[in-house]
Amino acid sequence: MKVGIIYDPIYLKHDTGAHVENSSRLVETIGLLEKSKLIDKLTAIPPRAASVEEVSLAHPRSHISRVQSYSTRGGGWLDGDTYASPASYEVALYAVGGVLEGVDAVMTGKINHAFALARPPGHHATTDEAMGFCLFNNIAIAAEYAKRKYKLDRILIADFDVHHGNGTQEIFYSDPKVLYFSTHQYPWYPGTGSIYEDGVGEGKGFTVNVPLPAYCGDKEHLRVYKEILVPVAKRFQPQLMLVSAGYDSHWADQLSLMQLTMEGFAGIVSVIKGLADELCQGKLLLSLEGGYHLQALSHSIKATFEVLLGKSPSPDPLGKPRDTMMSPDIGPILAEVKARHKLG
């Protein structure tokens, strides 16, 4: 079993200062992977800079030029949450290019699964707007790249970040070749992701949102992935699975009110990996999105790699959530999603 890791120190040059999405996220994660020697079991996939033509698979040239302009002028705020430093445009090209290298490695059989530890993240970037810490939509560009280069007709994107991937949804909302599946806290930033947002035109039914109330934990999330994602994926029969891997649903993360643990993330990844192994010869690529509690993030990413390697996750250093609020009943939500998507 070969598992690829896509990382380069260039990702640290997206300098956001004291912003919650900062380089410490990757410094902490790589440090843990090195200290545990898990990194020695992974196959390094060096990233490259994506071309403007590749980025334009999901974004107009005007958007690309705007990001470049902010960087070359010394940086600045593209919106109230999203910052570009002088190096951010170049780093963002490497984030996209790293994910594309992961697509190539998975599709050609160089490795079985891969995880891109790239930043800036991407799933909030819409066709023509940077937002939510995201400059370019790495995972959406990867899907378009895979469709065109490898002539794929069915790509499944699963998104377990606590925030809905509004950008990814928008880009593929009318596209029946890309099925977008998301679990997220709702209502929460950015305000999208209701059950009723399920695609338009030929893409009707190919967006599957499972909006969850605050305080959902491991049990609730795993129930969603087993009861909703599994039948959806088996019906769709993807040729490639892509994942927006956000770890901000962890109970210790300051940007959410969810109650997931490291073991919960490992369980979600195990379900996704099992589907990829069954349905598309293991062709699975993850790309990092959110996750802002450094210890929770680094250990959850480590657990993800352990699952991809077929190993049992290490003990969870943070343990169970301290909040004792009763878990919400998500049965009615699941019933409504199942009815809307005819899952029986």
Query: Which residues are designated catalytic?
Result: 124
Residue 182: closest CA among 103, 342, 80, 289: 289
Neighbours of 202 (CB within 10 A): 11
8 A C-beta contact, residue 239 and residue 284? no
Neighbours of 196 (CB within 10 A): 8
Q: Which residues fall within 8 angstroms of residue 143, CB to CB, at 6 or more apart?
A: 155, 157, 172, 178, 242
Q: Which residues fall within 8 angstroms of residue 202, CB to CB, at 6 or more apart?
A: 174, 175, 176
8 A C-beta contact, residue 306 and residue 314? yes
- Taking the CA atoms of residue 94, residue 285, residue 268 and residue 246 in that order, the dihedral angle to the nearest 10 degrees is 10
Q: Is the peptide bond before 46 cis (omega within 30 degrees of 0)?
A: no
Using the structure block, give the residue that is written with the tokens 């999203």: 82
Q: How far apart are CA 134 and CA 83, in angstroms?
A: 9
Beta bridge pairs of residue 114: 4, 285
Neighbours of 78 (CB within 10 A): 19
Using the structure block, give the residue that is written with the tokens 């919650």: 20
